[in-house]
Amino acid sequence: MAFRGRARRDLTTEQQLARGPMDLPFLALVLMLTAVGLIVLLSASFAIAMYNSYPGVDTGGDPYYYFIRQLRFAVVGIVLMYVITKIDYQRLRLLSVPAIIGAVILLLLIFTPLGRSSNGARRWLWLGVRFQPSEIAKVAVIMFFATRLSKRNDELRAPPKRWSKRTITGRIGAFLDRIGFLELVPYGAIVLVILFLLYKEPHMSGMILVLVGAASVLFASGIRLYWFVGAGALVGGALWFIITQTGYMTARINAWLNPMSDLKGDGFQLWQSQIAIGSGGLLGKGLGNSIQKYRFLPEMQNDFVFAIACEELGLIGACIIIALFMLLIIRGYWLAIHARDRFGTLLIVGINTLLAAQTFLNIGVVTGAIPTTGISLPFFSYGGTALVIQLAEMGIVLSVSRQIAAPKVE
């Protein structure tokens, strides 16, 4: 016992903080959603893997093809999540700038021979493994914004910059400084660069999620509310322009408004999804008994996996899945409120809001509440690298939770 006490005293303060207990309710919810997601994916992807009918993927007729690959990535992700929980999250401050630079470089590489296209969009990168750099960009933006904005209070306490009132530029600069515009310039520049690269892919869902993550961190840091009103109007106008000027987005909107008008084209997927949800009824057809997964519903292992869950598990099962997501999100915000410092709070707010938005948008698309966006359902949709990154994000939240019991830091 004396040896253990002496060894613990030899640890640095940083090491002692990082060894606090992680939040078990949050961890349990993450593991439950991952396990349920794997089971639902196994059932949803069984038929399409057996028939080897997904374009660009050779399953060799193995019905467990998608499940086994996803299971491997889940194991890697859980191990990575655990490793991240053991690291002091303060070190992410040093990684924020390299992360945002790396994200931009990866997005640029998409437009080189390393990039890969599918369904008219160039969103994937091949570096020994195929992945979407937008997944990394979303986390990098949150890390960078949280790092910079966690110091905002100190910057506001500093003496204000003196502008010359004798010149027009000086008076304009003083006005822009007073309303907080100059403070937002570096953040806006970074977001615009990433949004432009995502627009060129094109990747509308990625653009939405980057905006959501960035806006949530800015809002939590105390940026004035009128900037969000103005930015919301500007983004809404830009989205309207992109939708009306982009053929594939216009077709998606028309199919959402009236899927039966083009059941042989863009309306087919949404119509089949609604059939799957409606046929599930209250209790569902039973796990593994979906009819729509037999090549009726496109992307049933990806964006529309929740429709298969509704068909097989019914309304009750779907509500349980939604309840698990809600509990995870609520717990995440609770951890953000009780985080040791401002940096930890902003990190969790960004990651948690990203998770909430992705879940809401995917379920909204599958049920027909909003137009198709191409956003996957966290922990459920097939995509190994996306799952690993999602679990790594949960590791960051758990790393912050380890220091909740420590004295608060401004």
Q: Give residue 56's pLDDT.
A: 72
CB 368, CB 257: distance < 8 Å: no
For residue 251, pLDDT over 50 is answered with: yes
In sequence order, what are the residues at sequence separation of 6 or more whose Cβ sits closer than 8 angstroms to the Cβ of residue 89?
Answer: 343, 344, 347, 396, 399, 400, 403
Q: For position 3, what pLDDT does the model report?
A: 38
Higher-pLDDT residue of 245 and 321 is 321
What count of other Cβ atoms lies within 10 Å of the Cβ of residue 332? 24
Torsion of CA 356, 359, 362, 367, to 10 degrees: -110
At a CB cut-off of 8 Å and minimum separation 6, what does 278 contact?
none
**Cβ distance 324 to 36 under 8 Å?**
yes
**pLDDT over 70 at 179, yes or no:** no
Least confident interval from 140-144, 198-202, 362-366: 198-202
Q: Is the pLDDT of residue 64 over 60?
A: yes
pLDDT of 150 reads 87
Most confident of the following: 103-117, 150-164, 262-276:
103-117
Question: Which pLDDT value is given to residue 167?
Answer: 75
Cα separation of 373 and 273, whole Å? 14
Query: 53 pLDDT exceeds 90?
Result: no
CA 245 to chain centre: 26
Q: What does the angle CA 125 – CA 127 – CA 131 come to, to the nearest 5 degrees?
A: 40
pLDDT digits (tens, 9 = 90+) for 211-238: 999 999 999 988 888 777 877 788 778 7
What are the tens digits of pLDDT across the range 19-39? 678 899 999 999 999 999 999
- The per-residue pLDDT for 1 is 40
* Per-residue pLDDT tens over the stretch 256-305: 767 666 666 667 888 888 899 999 899 989 998 889 888 888 888 888 99
In what order do the strands lie in the sheet containing 121-126?
115-118, 121-126, 130-131
8 A C-beta contact, residue 118 and residue 56: yes
Band of pLDDT at residue 12, cut at 50, 70 and 90: low
Distance CA 48, CA 62 (A): 10
Question: Which pLDDT score is estimated for 154?
Answer: 58
- Extents of the domains making up the chain: 21-99+131-401
Classified as helix, coil or strand, 115 is strand
Q: Which residue has the higher pLDDT, 359 or 375?
A: 359
For range 378-387, the mean pLDDT:
91
Beta partners for residue 117, in sequence order:
122
Average pLDDT for residues 47-59, to the nearest whole number? 81
Among 102-116, 196-210, 264-278, 291-305, the least confident range: 264-278
